[in-house]
């Protein structure tokens, strides 16, 4: 078993190296792959991908890490090195050079439904190159595999190792963990069978494609739905509210979607992944109104951008609707928990029914923001500096709901003071103030009794909980300063952009700074979690902080269009010095 895996590994490696040049091969990958392929992946210029990944300054930096160097000492790494050397011997040149010189020919993968196998195709620059690649695989396999059989299929030489097989077919090098797939490719090469390219949907999707991504995926969901149990698994009531909340609308759209595509852009400045799911969002919205809104018109409110924003997220979610439809969305166990939570939360909200009177009085949509906190030099500074966070929601009837929220906020502060008193935590001093047209109620912890603790204050000094009311907006924040800033900002913000259901941005530079604020605690944490002595812990933390400087910004967006859902993930790297 292990041997076979090793073979497959070598096989794939060699495939990457022996990619041929895109000299017009007589048939395309789609024409060679069997019609029963459900997922198709295309890497048009593998050499370029290798260049971006291996020559990136970040990769160099990672190779300097002690963990990487330690991994180089392991026997596994040595085995890998030996295999690479062997392959290079067979190829007659260094592997990167081989790939780079041969140039962009294209690398293709297909996941086959009937055989449950994966097939890889490489378009070589010539028949000779394809044969050279095959011989390199053969060379490597001889070292590790027990028995390699040589057979013929329609006059083409096929090497078989157990279930797996590989062959050179014209300009193509073909390998699969199921030899039957290799045979099918040969069949297609000679025009004896039905190829993936014969599928109309595949053809039209391929045609409509724009741009030149580093990698492109197409998966046929019609076929997937033929797998017994697939539909049931999708339709089954959820037992996981967070997953439902984050992805319910996407999961719910899959049964209607004929296919999904994903395009990956790769360049030295970052990575961008775009996933498109064509479907009828307004159909999905019938069951998951909470996620997409009525007729799938739900729009996320604009992102909040206070100073030192670490993370900002905005999403259209109708929590009242989610709660009301819980019996249709979730299984019995979760519904029992909803019932229990409703009972408890109703007690908390002064006897108002949580589902109807609290959630029911909120407009759909929720915003969340996390910022790095600054502590004034003359004030109290906690030993561990946590970011501040706030959520913003809109009330339907502010005159009534605002009161309930205010009272609840006050009772929570009172409750915290009582329990805090029992646990030796200083009390919160409750204040109420007008800032412009906003009313802000906030609690501030009394300074520590011991003046020496002001610069190394306990954790709870990170918080000065605040509730702000601005028109119909309600802001609940862990810090008064953030509440004040947001209260001002929301009054002059741009309207939400249509078609965006959810978006999230993460500023890694701020995150790095927030971590660096806590260098001391992080070192202590490292001492606790790794057991290192102080010197080793300091080194490790400083290395991690330096590495994190490479990340700049990430964002995630879910757009709802008439034709379907589109998910975009972007990770940007800091420009290199």
Partner 1 sequence: MQNASRRKFLASISAAASAGLVSLAPRAPGFLLESAALGADRPAGDRILVVVQLSGGNDGLNTVIPYGDEIYRKKRPSLALGADNVIKLERDLGLHPRMKGAETLLEKRWLAVVQGVGYPNPNRSHFESMDIWHTAHTQPQDRAAGWLGRSFDAQRAAGRGSADPPGMHLGAESQPLALAARDVPSPSIRSLDQFQLRVDGDAQRASAIQAAASAPRRQASELLKFVQTRTTAALEISRRITAANQGYKTPVAYPETELAGKLKQVAQLIDAGLSTRVYYVALDGFDTHSDQANAHAGLLDQLAGGLAAFAEDLQNHGHLDRVVTLAFSEFGRRVEENASRGTDHGAAAPVFLVGSKVKPGLIGQHPKLDDLADGDIKFHTDFRCVYAALLAKWLGWPVEPILGEGFAPAAVLQA
Partner 2 sequence: MPRNLAELTPQTAWLPLEAAPAFDRRMAAHLFRRAGFCASRRELDEAVAAGLTATVKRLLTAGERSSAFDEEMRKFAEVALAAGNPQSLAGWWLHRLRHTPAPLVEKMTLFWHGHFATSAAKVRDARLLYDQNELFRRHALGNFRPLVRGIARDPAMLLYLDSATNRKNHPNENFAREVMELFCLGIGRYSERDIRELARCFTGWEILHGKFTFNTYQHDYGTKSLLGQSGPFDGDDGLRVILEQPACAEFLCGKLVRYFVTDEDLPAEWIAPLAQQFRESDLAIAPVLETIFTSRLFYSERAIGQKVRGPVELGVGLLRALEINTNMIQLAERLRELGQLVFFPPNVKGWPGGKNWIDSSALLGRANLVRALADNIPPRSAAGPASGEQIDQLAELLLAVPPPAEVRAGLIAQLEQAGGMPGALRQAVSVLGALPEFQLS
Gyration radius of the chain over CA positions: 29
Among partner 2, partner 1, none, what binds residue 336 when CB lies within 5 to 8 Å by partner kind?
partner 1
Smallest separation (angstroms) from partner 2 to the CB of 517: 13
346 binds partner 1 (CB under 8 A): yes
Segment (H or E) for 266: strand 259-267
Residues 6+ apart with CB under 8 A from 28: 197
Torsion of CA 50, 55, 60, 62, to 10 degrees: -30
Interatomic CA distance for residues 560 and 326, integer angstroms: 23
The β-bridge relationship of strands 428-435 and 366-371 is unpaired
CA distances from 66 to 61, 71, 77 (A): 11, 8, 15
Smallest separation (angstroms) from partner 2 to the CB of 522: 9
Among partner 2, partner 1, none, what binds residue 383 when CB lies within 5 to 8 Å by partner kind?
partner 2
Interatomic CA distance for residues 46 and 420, integer angstroms: 60
Among positions 333, 379, 421, 436, the unique one binding partner 1 when judged by CB under 8 A: 333
For residues 18 and 122, the answer to whether their CB atoms sit within 8 Å is yes
Q: 46 to 105, contacts with partner 1 by CB under 8 A?
A: none
Interatomic CA distance for residues 198 and 209, integer angstroms: 17
On the CB side of 258, CA atoms within 13 Å amount to 7
What is 189-249 written as a DSSP string?
HTT-S-BGGG-HHHHHHHHH--S--SEEEEEEHHHHTTSTTHHHHHHSPBS-HHHHHHHHH
Smallest separation (angstroms) from partner 2 to the CB of 405: 28
Smallest separation (angstroms) from partner 1 to the CB of 342: 5
Q: 63 to 102, contacts with partner 2 by CB under 8 A?
A: 73-75
Q: 347 to 366, contacts with partner 1 by CB under 8 A?
A: 347, 351, 353
Interatomic CA distance for residues 428 and 444, integer angstroms: 5
What is 462-503 written as a DSSP string?
G---EEEEETTEEEEES-HHHHHHHHHHGGGPPPPPTTEEEE
571 pairs with which residues across the strands?
271, 554
Q: Given the rule CB under 8 A, which of 20-28, 81-89, 346-354, 562-570 is the region that contacts partner 1?
A: 346-354
Give the residue with the Cβ less far from partner 1, 235 or 239. 239
Among positions 152, 163, 340, 429, the unique one binding partner 1 when judged by CB under 8 A: 340
Interatomic CA distance for residues 409 and 411, integer angstroms: 5
Residues in the chain: 577
Smallest separation (angstroms) from partner 2 to the CB of 465: 17
The β-bridge relationship of strands 388-394 and 149-153 is unpaired
Smallest separation (angstroms) from partner 2 to the CB of 447: 14
Interatomic CA distance for residues 561 and 546, integer angstroms: 41
Give the residue with the Cβ less far from partner 1, 267 or 347. 347
Among positions 53, 243, 339, 407, the unique one binding partner 1 when judged by CB under 8 A: 339
Interatomic CA distance for residues 449 and 461, integer angstroms: 13
Q: 412 to 441, contacts with partner 2 by CB under 8 A?
A: 423-424
b/e 69-87 (16+ beta carbons within 10 angstroms → b): eeeeeeeeeeeeeebbebb
Smallest separation (angstroms) from partner 2 to the CB of 373: 15
520 binds partner 2 (CB under 8 A): yes
Site string for partner 2, 527-546 (x = CB under 8 A): xxxxxxxx------------
Give the residue with the Cβ less far from partner 1, 64 or 419. 419
CA distances from 576 to 68, 270, 537, 572 (A): 21, 12, 27, 12
For residues 499 and 543, the answer to whether their CB atoms sit within 8 Å is no
Site string for partner 2, 264-293 (x = CB under 8 A): ------------------------------
Smallest separation (angstroms) from partner 1 to the CB of 348: 9
Q: Given the rule CB under 8 A, which of 20-28, 330-338, 526-534, 564-572 is the region that contacts partner 1?
A: 330-338
411 binds partner 1 (CB under 8 A): no
Among partner 1, partner 2, none, what binds residue 61 when CB lies within 5 to 8 Å by partner kind?
none
Give the residue with the Cβ less far from partner 2, 399 or 533. 533
Among partner 2, partner 1, none, what binds residue 459 when CB lies within 5 to 8 Å by partner kind?
partner 2
Among partner 2, partner 1, none, what binds residue 342 when CB lies within 5 to 8 Å by partner kind?
partner 1
204 binds partner 1 (CB under 8 A): no
Q: Given the rule CB under 8 A, which of 382-390, 506-514, 550-558, 565-573 is the region that contacts partner 2?
A: 382-390
Residues making contact with partner 2 (CB under 8 A): 73-75, 382-384, 423-424, 449, 456-460, 520-521, 524-525, 527-534
Residues making contact with partner 1 (CB under 8 A): 333, 335-337, 339-340, 342-343, 346-347, 351, 353
């Amino acid at each position: 078993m292990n041997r076979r895996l090793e073979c497959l590994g070598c096989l794939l490696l060699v495939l990457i190296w022996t990619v041929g040049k895109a000299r017009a091969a007589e048939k395309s990958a789609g024409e060679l792959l069997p019609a029963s392929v459900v997922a198709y992946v295309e890497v048009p210029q593998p050499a370029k991908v290798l260049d971006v990944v291996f020559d990136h300054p970040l990769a160099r930096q990672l190779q300097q890490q002690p963990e990487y160097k330690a991994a180089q000492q392991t026997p596994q790494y040595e085995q890998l090195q030996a295999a690479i050397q062997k392959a290079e011997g067979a190829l007659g040149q260094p592997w990167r050079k081989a790939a780079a010189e041969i140039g962009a020919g294209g690398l293709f993968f297909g996941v086959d439904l009937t055989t449950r196998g994966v097939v890889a195709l490489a378009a070589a620059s010539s028949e000779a190159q394809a044969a050279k690649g095959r011989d390199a695989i053969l060379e490597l396999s001889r070292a590790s595999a027990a028995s390699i059989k040589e057979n013929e299929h329609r006059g083409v030489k096929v090497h078989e190792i157990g279930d797996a097989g590989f062959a050179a077919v014209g300009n193509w090098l073909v390998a699969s963990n199921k030899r039957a797939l290799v045979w099918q490719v040969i069949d297609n090469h000679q025009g004896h069978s039905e190829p993936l390219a014969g599928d109309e949907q595949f053809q039209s999707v391929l045609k409509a494609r724009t741009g030149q991504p580093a990698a492109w995926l197409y998966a046929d969901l019609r076929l997937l739905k033929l797998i017994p149990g697939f539909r049931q698994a999708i339709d089954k009531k959820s037992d996981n509210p967070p997953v439902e909340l984050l992805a319910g609308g996407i999961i719910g759209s899959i049964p209607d979607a004929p296919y999904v595509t994903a395009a990956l852009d790769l360049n030295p400045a970052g990575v961008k992944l775009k996933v498109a799911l064509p479907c009828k969002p307004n159909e999905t919205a019938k069951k998951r109104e909470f996620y997409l809104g009525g007729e799938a018109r739900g729009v996320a409110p604009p992102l909040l951008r206070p100073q030192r924003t670490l993370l900002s997220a905005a999403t259209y979610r109708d929590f009242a609707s989610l709660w009301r439809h819980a019996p249709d969305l979730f299984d019995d166990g979760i519904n029992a928990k909803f019932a229990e939570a409703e009972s408890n939360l109703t007690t908390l909200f002064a006897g108002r029914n949580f589902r109807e009177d609290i959630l029911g009085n909120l407009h759909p949509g929720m915003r969340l923001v996390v910022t790095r906190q600054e502590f004034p030099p003359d004030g109290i500074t906690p030993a561990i500096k946590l970011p501040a966070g706030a959520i913003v929601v809109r009330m339907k009837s502010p005159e009534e709901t605002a009161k309930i929220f205010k009272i609840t906020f006050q009772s929570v502060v009172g409750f915290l003071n009582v329990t805090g008193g029992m646990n030796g935590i200083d009390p919160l001093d409750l204040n109420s103030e007008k800032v412009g047209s906003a009313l802000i109620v906030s609690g501030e912890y009394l300074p520590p009794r011991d003046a020496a603790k002001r610069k190394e204050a306990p954790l709870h000094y990170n918080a000065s909980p605040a509730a702000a009311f601005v028109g119909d907006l309600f802001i609940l924040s862990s810090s008064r300063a953030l509440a004040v800033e947001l209260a001002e900002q929301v009054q002059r913000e741009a309207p939400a952009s249509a078609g965006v259901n959810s978006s999230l941005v993460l500023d890694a530079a701020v995150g790095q700074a927030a971590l660096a604020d806590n260098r001391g605690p992080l070192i202590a944490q490292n001492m606790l979690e790794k057991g290192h002595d102080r010197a080793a812990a300091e080194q490790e933390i400083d290395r991690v902080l330096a590495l994190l400087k490479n990340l700049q910004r990430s964002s995630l967006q879910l757009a709802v269009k008439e034709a379907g859902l589109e998910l975009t993930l972007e990770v940007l790297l800091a420009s290199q010095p």
